[in-house]
Structures are given as structure tokens and as C-alpha cells.
Structure 1
Amino acid sequence: MARRTVFGMVAGLCLAAVNAVPASAETLAEALSNAYVTSGLLDQNRAVLRAADEDVAQAVAALRPVLSWSGNVSRNYGSANNANLLTGDYSWAPSADVTASANLIASLTLYQGGARRLGLEAAKEAVLATRAALVSVEQQVLLSAVSAFMEVRRAEETVTLRRNNVRVIGEELRAAQDRFEVGEVTRTDVALAEARLAEARSLLAAAEGQLAVNRETYNAIVGNYPGALQSPGGLPRLPGSVPDAKSQALATHPDMTQLRHVVAANDISVRIAEAQMQPKVELQGSWGASDTFDSERANRGGAVALGLSGPIYQGGGLTSGVRQAIADRDASRAQLYSTGRDVEEAVGSAYAQLRIAQASLVSTREQVRAARVAFEGIREEATLGARTTLDVLDAEQELLDARAAQISAQVDETIAAYAVLASIGQLTARALGLAVPVYDPAAYYNMVRSAPVKSQQGADLDRVLRALGKN
């Protein structure tokens, strides 16, 4: 009767204990939110985006007049010849004076082949490309968080299974020793149980080590060590078919969006390179004053000039620049095409991995059911003497392996489902509805696009940077 109780512990401990979840367990959504908020990689790429926003401000500034000033104070010294031919006097007298000057200069480029306005358009395209790159980084961060969360879940449940296995085999070993003492089994049965217990302890140590590794990975990605983790309640909503998912990915995946804007910027760069061959018309005005101390000499005045200049010969450098811009544009177009094929492949592969995980989950559920039935039958037969201790240990191990395979299949299915979301460009905080303040990539751009100087808007920017801790 005691032996039957020992064997009866296996199914309950292996199947029920791993499903117990504390009421305060951390959810996958909370882990994703923490990863989004604490990610240094996202902070880094947001700063890169702000730098790109400033390129637009600088391109706007290039369209405006340039006003500058200069000042100079100089002391002239030397000697003068005071020779008088009538009197015959001949002498050198020292001379010195101090002169101060100040100038105010204004210039405005009226025409440069449209290069400056094209530069503004190229900067805007670069901003849009950088925004898309930020979305791509966000997807990487969130997918890493999903993987870290689920791997900790896998490791925790594996450790629970291994601990229960060690406990149960320990009870079986004690039962085998008791039966050996009364002559019901041989010393071989005891040795088999001892060997299986040693193996179970080794596997438990490996599982605990893997859990420690996964906890460190979780902390690095999410920003805190995991407590009790709650199993996800279901999978995210996905497109109904692979062709639909591929179409959506080609339209909305951030890598595709980024490259479209890169191609547009490179198209503009060709026109900018061509504009460098055009003449330049510049209007310049200046006003200045100079005064010599200890003298009545002083000058006041200004000038207005309209200048025209242009290249004649630069050794072929300008035409080379045009050819280079065309080559860069063609390369980005080819990259857009190849990336489209890569995106379609990634979608197909992600769906294939999801189907594999789902099929594995179905089969492992059946495997667990069959292994449980087999174990219970062999256990009953062992009580009647029709089965050996080794048979019971093997059946218990098969049930344990089936349950471990089921856990892995559940983890793989969740990771694969979120990988599908990432492959179509929908693994973002906004699309997932995470309870976090979603970063607005246009907020900083809207503040700097008019290139503010020292104004209320400039003061607002200073406060934003101080809040970000970046200045």
C-alpha cells in the first residue's frame, strides 16, 4: 500500500505542481512594458533620431540669411623720416597709433541650383527613415523580452519537474531498499534505483544552472530579475493566412519603410549633386566703422553687393559626385528589393515555426496522456509482481520527458507567435496596447523643425533635454 502511494505521487507532482501560479505573478505584458521603458538600446536610438531631427533644423537654417560681426583693435608702430631738404635737417621720429574697427556683415544665398531646398527635403526623408529604424529596434527589444520571459518559464517548470522527479525516485529507492531487506527484490533493483536517482540529481543541477542563466538574461533585457511568472493566457491575433501576412509585411514592416525613405533621400541626393554645377547668386551687405585713437581719422560706411559665381573646371570632381550619387541611389533600390524578399522569407519562416510548435504541442499532449496511462498500468502491474522496478522507473521517466516536451512546445508556440508579429512589423508597444507612455517620434521634431534660436521654443527644448538627462 505504501509503495502504491509512492508511485501515485508521480503524476500529481509532475502535472499539478508545475501549474500552480501565485496570484501576484508577473504577466508577459508587464515584462514587455518594463523592457520598453528601461531599454538602453531604445534610448540610444531615440537620441539618434533627435540628431536626425536637428539635421532638418540645420537645413532650414541654410535657407535663411547669415548675419555675423567682426571686430579688431590694432596698434601700428614704427618711425618716420623727417628730412627737410631746405634746412638740411635729417632725423627719424617714432610714430604709433591705435586703430579699432567693427563690422556687421549680412549675406543671403539667392540661388544655388535648388541645392539648399533639396537638402531640406533629403533631411526630412532621413528623419522618416530613422523613425522606421527606431521601430525596428523596438521590435527587437520586445521580441527579446518575449523570449527571455518564456525561457525563464521553461527553465522554472523544468526545475520543478526535476525536483519532483528527484523526490519521487528517492521514495522509490527507499521502497526498493525496504523490499530488498525482506527479500522481495534483488540488490540489482536497488542499484537501478540508486543510478536513476543520481541521474535525476544531475539533471536537476543542470536545470537549476540553466534557470540561473535565463534569469540573468531576463534581468539584462527586462530591467529586473523575474519573480513568479504567469503563463500567457493566449496567443496574439495574427493574419489569417501567410499571403495576407506577407502583403502586410511588405506594406508596413519598418525595414521596408526605412529603405523606401532611404531611396527617396538618395534620389534627392542625385539632384543635389547635379545642382552643384549650377551658378550661385549671393547678396551681401556690410556696414563698418573704424577709428584711430589720438587722431581725427575715422571711417564710417557700408556696402551692398550682388555676387555671381560658378564652377568652370574642378578636375572632374563634380561629375564624379553625380555618378557616385546615382550609384548610391541604385544600390539603395537594389537593397529595397532584396529586403522585400527577405521580409517575405521571414514571414514564411515564422509561420512555419509556429505551425511546427503547434503540431508539437498537439502531439506532446497526446504523448503525456499516453505516458500517464502507461505509467499507471505499469505501476499497478508492479504491485502484482508482473513488472520490475526498472519498468516503473522507465515509465516514470517517459512521463517526465513527455511533460517536459509539452512545456517546451508551449514555450516555442508563444515565442513563434510573437516572432510572426515581428515579421509583419506589428510587435510594437502601440500595436500590443502596452500600458506605457508610448514614445512619440514626432514630438521633438515638431519642436526643432523651424530651427528655433533663443526664444520661448528654444527654452522649451532646453527643458526637454534636461528632463531626458542628455544635455
Structure 2
Amino acid sequence: MLPKVKGRLLWSVAVAISLTLPSVTAAETLTDALVSAYQNSGLLDQNRAVLRAADEDVAQAVSTLRPVISYAGGTSYNSSDSVVGDRLSSSLSLSADLTLYDFGRRQLALEAKKETVLATREALIAIEQQVLQRAVEAYMNVRREDEFVALGENNVRLITQELRAAQDRFEVGEVTRTDVAIAEARLAASRANLAAAQGSLAQAREEYNAAIGRYPGQLAPPPAAPQTAASLDSARAIALQNHPDIRESQRLVTVAELNVQRARTQMSPTLSLGADAQVDDDGTNTSSIGLNLGGIIYQGGQLRSLQRSAIANRDGSRAQLHLAGDRVVQNVGNAWAILLVARASIEATDRQITAARIAYLGTKEEATLGARTTLDVLDAEQELLDAQANRISAETDAQVAAYQLLSSMGYLTVKHLGLGVTTYDPAEYYNAVRNAPSRPLSEQGTRLDSLLRRTGRN
């Protein structure tokens, strides 16, 4: 029995120790925030649905290359004064129609839809970058505002001590009532600044919840800024080749050019094959098959207008591509400049903090000897506080600018950052529907049903 009692005693001691020790919760990292933003983004879900709709446009374009089979049935009652009298008749017909040749109109439409899918995929990547950039900014803003609150609380504490010291010195006649009033005014201002900082932190927490999907807990210091490019020219070259806005615009130019070609074929004839069969209730069977050739000769100028409209849209798409390139180059330059300024500010504020701390400690020591006033001490402390706040802002700006530069280069994606999360596969749904399955009558349709159930969209 002794070993059993001893074991229970050790277990009780262990439980008691575990209850008295504070629980340790791992701080949330920037990577955790980015993963949550990617997984919880309603904006990404919305644009994924837009992409699936574009995938279905390809399926619909494919269906136009296939025959159209239709049926019709009817019953009629005929009343007559003739010898035959009243008569009830019924019929059932089945018809099929297949376009054999239309000078490439349907194939051009199909190619345009495929290019639209590729453009929509690029737009989805651009949205992914927006979601991740917003998450970075939300994370860094919460950390910055939290540190501002800590600085404000420390400042209130220090000024409170200065006020007490000034009151003590006033009671023994070392300072005047003015010194005490200055300390009281500074304390009131410090408390107001602290309240403002707490309000900014509350707003930053709300933005964090909106961007990432939950309120922040304890946030870990951000990792080292990500690698971007060796030079501004290199960053611009990468952006012009890789940014999703440019690649989307390139795809849309291709779509517009295909639509121009399609518009030019609208006046060309169409050759089709038609067949039909009919059965009447009296047992009469009729069937026919034949080739049909037809086209539009005149439609009030509409077809020529459609051609001109397609050409204008193509020219607009080309201009949009040019504008996208200019915008991307500008964004790269802006992000690069902000990053350089932030890094320089970090170095400068480090030296500022060192000097301001020495000045504050020296002024405080001199004040105890009567060589400095309370105002001098409060001014020195305020300069130190400002330097520390500037350092926090500069570090935040540097982190945000680094990720903004990545975004302007087209590299702010889950894949490039290596976040280790399962990414959305835009090709999975496309591959399931690109051949226009007629679910549930085909094996493709069955696979599509399974895919929709797995993604929770059916």
C-alpha cells in the first residue's frame, strides 16, 4: 500500500504546483496572423466564387460546340360536324441540331473565356496580396499602439513621481508653486495622451479582428523584414514581369483581341446539320435530316457597330495595360523610398534615444542639486518619450514598407512567403467543369458533385 499512497501524494503535489504556476500562452506571431487572414478572408471567398463562375463560362462555351437535342410533345382535341366527328390526336417529336462550321466564332468565344479565366486567377492573386498586406498592417499597428500605451503609462508614472517630488520640495521652500503647477499640467496632459493611445489601441484591435478573423492576444515581436530586391531597378524589373495586375491586363488584352476577331465573323454564314423525328398517335412516323446554310445580310448596322465596339474595347484594354505598368512601377518606387526612409529613421532615433536618455538622467540629477528646474526635467523626459515613440513608429513603418515592396513586386503571396498552409487550388474546379459535364448523367458530373460537397458549396 505504501507505493500507492506515495504515488497519490506525488500526484497531489504536482497538481498543486501546476495550479499555483501561471499559465504560459505562446505569443501569436506574424506568421500566425497571416495564415489566419488567408483562411478567414471573406474577400478571398468572394473572389474565388467569381473565379468559379468564370470557369463555368468556359463550360458553357464548350457546350456550344456540341449538338442540341430537344423534344416536344402535344395533344389536341378537334371537334367537327363531319362524318369523322370529334377527334383527339397526340404527337411526339425529337430533334437535333449541330453547327458544323461558323468561321470560328464559337472557338474564338471559347478561347476568350479561357483567357478570362486566366485573368481572373491573376485578379485572385492580387486580392490575396491585399488580404496579406492588410494583415501585416493590422499586426504591426496593434504592436505599435500597444507600445504607445506602455510608453504613456510609464510617462504618467514618471510624471506622478516628479509631481510628488516637486510638492515635497515646495513644502521645504526649494521650489515655487509654479513648479508644482507645471508638473500638474504635464501630468494632466500625459493622462490625456494615454487615453488617446488607449483609444487608438482599441481601434487597432478592431481592425485586427476584421483583417485576421479574431482579436489579438499577446503578439510576438515581428521577424526580420523579408528579403526583397537588391536594387530599385531590380525590383521594378521583377514587378513588370510578375505583378498580377500586369498579367491580368495582358490576359484581358488577349480577350479583347479575340473578341475583335469574333466580331468580324458575325456576317459570315453558318452551316449546320439538323435532324428530327415525329410519331403521331395513329402510328405515322416521319423523320428528316438535312444541311442548313444561313447568315445575316443586313441587321440595321448592328454588326458593324459591334465590330467598332470590339475594336474600341481592345484599344481600351491596351491602354489599361500601359496604365497598370505605370502604376506598378510607381508603387515599387514609393515602397522603396518609404523603406529607405524608415531604415534611416531607425538609425537616427537609436542615436536620439541614447542622447535623450543621457540628457534626462543628467537633468534629473542636476535638479536634485538645485541647478535645474522641474520644467527642465519634464522637458528632458518628454524628449526621451518622443524619441522612443519615433523609434517604434520607424520600426513599424520599415516592416510595413518591406511587405508593401514585396506586394508591389507581386511576391506577397502565401506560396512565396512559405507560410506552410494549404492554398486554394484554382485549377481544381476548372478541371472538373472545363469539359461541360452534364451532372449527374456523366462520370465528370459525379466528380463535380463530390468536389462541391467537399468544399461545402453544394
User: What TM-score results when the alignment is normalised by the length of structure 1?
Assistant: 0.90
Aligned to 2:412: 427
- What is the percentage of aligned positions where both structures have the same residue? 55
Structure 1 position 382 matched with structure 2 position 367? yes
Structure 1 residue 188: Cα displacement = 1.3
Aligned to 1:5: none
Aligned to 1:278: 268
CA contact (8 A) 2:33 2:139 kept: yes
CA contact (8 A) 2:128 2:413 kept: yes
Aligned to 2:456: 469
**Closer/same/farther in 2, CA of residues 372 and 23 from structure 1, 3 Å limit:** farther
The one of 289, 294, 303 aligned to 1:318 = 303
Aligned to 2:255: 265
Structure 1 position 447 matched with structure 2 position 432? yes
Residue identity opposite 1:112 in structure 2: D
CA–CA distance in structure 2, aligned partners of residues 375 and 421 of structure 1:
40
Aligned to 2:7: none
Aligned to 1:150: 140
Counterpart mapping for 1:10-409 below 5 A: 24-80=26-82, 95-291=85-281, 297-409=282-394
Q: Deviations over 1:349-406 (max 9, x none)?
A: 1101111111111111111011011111111111211111111111111101100010
Residue identity opposite 1:317 in structure 2: Q
Q: Deviations over 1:144-195 (max 9, x none)?
A: 1111111111100000000011111111211221222222222111111111
Deviates more, 1:207-216 or 1:380-389: 380-389
What secondary structure does 2:275 align onto?
strand
CA–CA distance in structure 2, aligned partners of residues 239 and 73 of structure 1:
76
Structure 2 unmatched ranges of 5 or more: 1-23
CA–CA distance in structure 2, aligned partners of residues 37 and 218 of structure 1:
14
What secondary structure does 1:78 align onto?
coil
What secondary structure does 2:316 align onto?
helix
Q: Deviations over 1:207-239 (max 9, x none)?
A: 000000110011011000000111212101111
Residue identity opposite 2:77 in structure 1: R
Structure 1 residue 74: Cα displacement = 1.6
Q: Deviations over 1:37-88 (max 9, x none)?
A: 00000000000000000111111111111111111122122333x6xxxxxx
Structure 1 residue 428: Cα displacement = 0.6
Residue identity opposite 2:56 in structure 1: E
Structure 1 position 414 matched with structure 2 position 399? yes
Aligned to 1:460: 447
Count how many residue pairs are aligned between Structure 1 and Structure 2.
Answer: 433
CA contact (8 A) 2:30 2:223 kept: no
Residue identity opposite 1:35 in structure 2: A
Aligned to 1:87: none
Residue identity opposite 1:134 in structure 2: L
Q: Deviations over 1:314-339 (max 9, x none)?
A: 12211111111111111101111121
CA–CA distance in structure 2, aligned partners of residues 95 and 470 of structure 1:
58
Structure 1 residue 457: Cα displacement = 2.3
Structure 1 unmatched ranges of 5 or more: 1-21, 83-93, 292-296
What secondary structure does 2:268 align onto?
coil
CA–CA distance in structure 2, aligned partners of residues 95 and 218 of structure 1:
83
CA–CA distance in structure 2, aligned partners of residues 353 and 209 of structure 1:
27
Structure 1 residue 23: Cα displacement = 6.4
CA–CA distance in structure 1, aligned partners of residues 298 and 270 of structure 2:
15
Q: Deviations over 1:95-121 (max 9, x none)?
A: 321111111111100011110111111
Residue identity opposite 2:212 in structure 1: V
Computing the radius of gyration over CA atoms, which structure comes out larger, 1 or 2?
Answer: 1
CA–CA distance in structure 1, aligned partners of residues 246 and 112 of structure 2:
18
CA–CA distance in structure 2, aligned partners of residues 208 and 366 of structure 1:
28
CA contact (8 A) 2:28 2:217 kept: yes
Q: Deviations over 1:408-460 (max 9, x none)?
A: 00000000110000101000111111122111111111111111112232122
What secondary structure does 1:298 align onto?
coil
